[in-house]
Amino acid sequence: MTRVALNGAHALWTVALGLAAAPVWAQDAPDGGALAPIVITGSGAADARWRGSASVDVVDGRELRDGQLQINLSESLGRVPGLVIRNRENYAQDLQVSIRGYGSRATFGVRGVRLFVDGIPASAPDGSGQAANFPIGSAERIEVVRGPFASLYGASSGGAILLYTEDGGEPGEWRVGAGFAENGLWRLSTQLSGRIGGAAGWSYVLDTGRFETDGQRPQSAANRSTTNAKLARAHDGGRTVLVFNRQTSFALDPQGLTRQDFDADPTQTSQSALDFNTRKSVSQTQAGIAWDQALAGGHKLELMGYVGQRRVVQFQSVPINAQTFAAGSSGGVIDLDRDYAGFNARWRLQTEWAGGRLDTSAGLAGDRQTDLRLGFENFVGGTRGVLGNLRRDETNRATTLDPYLRAAWTRDDWTLEGGVRHVSARYRSEDRYLINGDQSGATRFSGNLPVVGVRRQLNPQTQAFAAIGRGLEIPTLNEAAYRNSTGTAGLNTDLNAARSISAEIGLRGRNAAGLWNASVFDIRTNDEIITLTNSGGRAVFDNAGRTRRQGLELSSEYGLGDWTFSTAYTFLRATYRDAFVSCTDSPCATPNTPVPAGNRIPGVPQQQVFAQLAWTPAWATPVGGVFTLEARHTGRVFVNDANTDSAEGHTLFAVGARFEQVQGPWTFRQFLRIDNLSDRRHAGSVIVNDGNKRFFEPGLGRTFSAGVEFVRRF
């Protein structure tokens, strides 16, 4: 079966959960390096994760797909400790993703966690990103990077999620798959891969698919179409890779529910969402090229570049009065047209030095986004949910230019490694809607992000590792869009980046049976970014002082005969260390709610558990049967800085069965699955600091799903 590479120590896991684990081997996974990925596939030995001091989990592509609908990353990444990834059941807002508490404040999309697909950023230079364009159907693996070394991916890198797609090979392969679930959900996809011209020719992968759902609540229907293509060709001492991605989507937005509405009926939708017909449409196209070439003496040159365009139109439910009377209101409709591009160039040297192996690299990464942003009223006369008068017209630009260095030295049972990245981000806004005066402006953020780590092999089966480094989280363009003093449009030049020091120490082990992992970490942040005011559909952000995130991550995977047991546990205590004043209502033009020191950071569960038992009985061998029982526990989650309410902790169970038969060149796969077996009412995620108190996003009740896949080799 497919296996997962994890990092940590089994002894603590045994104490915490009373398990006696016999671990299993990690699967082979190329090393993508600790720096931002600049080539389309990683490079290095298969056991590079075992040799390094960074916390990196690797989930194989088959693990992402087998027995799953293959629509959301949340289906399969719950097994990664330290990662919170939840489906909002609202495709207008994307998944809720955080790593060790970074990114938890995001009310939509992904913040504080960097995303990459085949080395190309799925995160913009301002740190905002979306996981909807991750091509699960053609994924070869996903790497989840946590801890201090994540900062080498740039600003707002509290963690990083990297997806690498498959390479085409010989024989070629054609896959067609479909998945079905309740609420009218279906997915149809196909993948074609192979090679043209033999070993010296081009390999190709084409992945295209579509999914639709009616949603579990009124105003929650959605659809998405994706196409992902990849061409690769090896040449003497190097490789060239071309990638292309196209995504279009449309989603109605049911928004969250208040406590009263959630308790009364979690399947309902807020009246404001229905009145304004809240919705979002997205189209995105991007292309990239990567080239690397080995030079004499162990030197290597790696180059990557990409361009893209993204269009978003979103109708919100900002009240008419807030748009009409609030000074500087940008309306209730967002019309965003974004052009973006970037590059990454790296020199690398691998050689023998001082009795060990030295791997050094240096490079320069740059990214740029240009947003033509229009705002319109979402009403005409008494008709709501339609395009009205222009209220905002500006061009926003964000650029980054980051030089970086990294070195790793390995000798005998030791590895010493470290790096530094200089982050420089510049924002500029050019205002053309001058009725309220010229709100143009500019601001910048910069900092040096050093990190060092060490790994010590204690015996052939066990090693210790430790790392410490600095991080920098910059506000997104949306978070910096309104000024602190007046709440009017114009870049908030008083808003600082949050700066942190992160440290971790851990143990990990493996033997012929498997692997186990444990680590503890401590993260101390200054100038944490928080919501200051909500008024007229505008949120103003400020810096709150110091926060602290302390945690423990435990995981293991082991097999015994026909049984395989996988587990992951996360304890995270994230708190504000300094008191501040914020808003809990909308409208709120002046902060009026004290937030005392010691309050929990919202959006972060203190405990999270994943456990899966897989059984492959001998009697099911003729049909390739695997049966699974899965449990996921999420602890209590506060919904705002004031900690006045929370989503209760809950445990969800799921059962599944998958089958595989091979007949000549054909392979047939089927799966059945039941999620939330006990039909537990729960909040699948929360909207942090929502000014209208619509914090709760209901999770699905008991849900049946099934799927089939046909594979033809040629």
Question: Which sequence spans correspond to the domains of the chain?
Answer: 4-713
Is residue 49 very low, low, confident or very high in pLDDT (cuts 50, 70, 90)?
low
Centre a 10 Å sphere on the Cβ of residue 264 and count the other Cβ atoms it contains. 10
Give per-residue pLDDT as tens, 366-415.
Answer: 999 999 999 999 999 989 999 999 999 999 999 999 999 999 999 989 99
Q: What is the mean pLDDT of the chain?
A: 90
Q: What does the pLDDT read at residue 31? A: 42
Q: What does the pLDDT read at residue 18? A: 33
- Over 70: is that where the pLDDT of 34 sits? no
Q: pTM for the whole thing?
A: 0.92
Give the span between the Cα atoms of 598 and 606, in whole angstroms: 14
Q: What does the pLDDT read at residue 327? A: 65
- Over 50: is that where the pLDDT of 46 sits? no
3 state SS of 119? coil
Amino acid, single-letter form, for residue 432: R
Give the span between the Cα atoms of 637 and 634, in whole angstroms: 8
Q: Which of 51-60, 92-101, 318-327, 671-680 has the highest mean pLDDT?
A: 671-680
Q: What is the DSSP string of 434-459?
A: GGG----EEEEEEEEEEEEEEEEEEE
Q: Which of the 8 DSSP states describes residue 18? A: -
- Over 60: is that where the pLDDT of 532 sits? yes
Listed range (40-54, 238-252, 340-354, 654-668) with the worst mean pLDDT: 40-54
Give the CB-side neighbour count of residue 239, counting CA atoms within 13 A. 16
Residue bearing the bigger pLDDT, 662 or 49: 662
Q: Is the dihedral of CA 539, 542, 544, 550 positive or negative?
A: positive
- Over 50: is that where the pLDDT of 52 sits? yes
Give per-residue pLDDT as tens, 273-305.
Answer: 999 999 999 999 999 999 999 999 999 999 999
Residue 359 has φ and ψ, to the nearest 5°, of -125, 110
Which secondary-structure segment (H or E) carries 50? helix 48-51
Q: Is the dihedral of CA 194, 196, 202, 204 positive or negative?
A: negative
- Over 60: is that where the pLDDT of 40 sits? no
- Over 70: is that where the pLDDT of 12 sits? no
- Over 70: is that where the pLDDT of 553 sits? yes
Is residue 258 very low, low, confident or very high in pLDDT (cuts 50, 70, 90)?
very high
Which residues are CB-neighbours of 460 under 8 A, at least 6 positions away? none
CATH superfamily, domain 4-713, is: TonB-dependent receptor, beta-barrel domain (2.40.170.20)
Beta strands in 155-298, from DSSP E residues, in sequence order: 159-165, 173-181, 185-196, 202-213, 222-235, 238-252, 279-294
How far is the CA of 708 from the CAs of 172, 628, 667, in angstroms?
20, 17, 11
Give the span between the Cα atoms of 668 and 622, in whole angstroms: 12
Q: What does the pLDDT read at residue 398? A: 96
Amino acid, single-letter form, for residue 546: R
Q: What does the pLDDT read at residue 439? A: 85
Which residues are CB-neighbours of 236 under 8 A, at least 6 positions away? none
The mean pLDDT value for 337-363 works out to 95
3 state SS of 46? coil
Q: What does the pLDDT read at residue 585? A: 78
The mean pLDDT value for 549-574 works out to 95
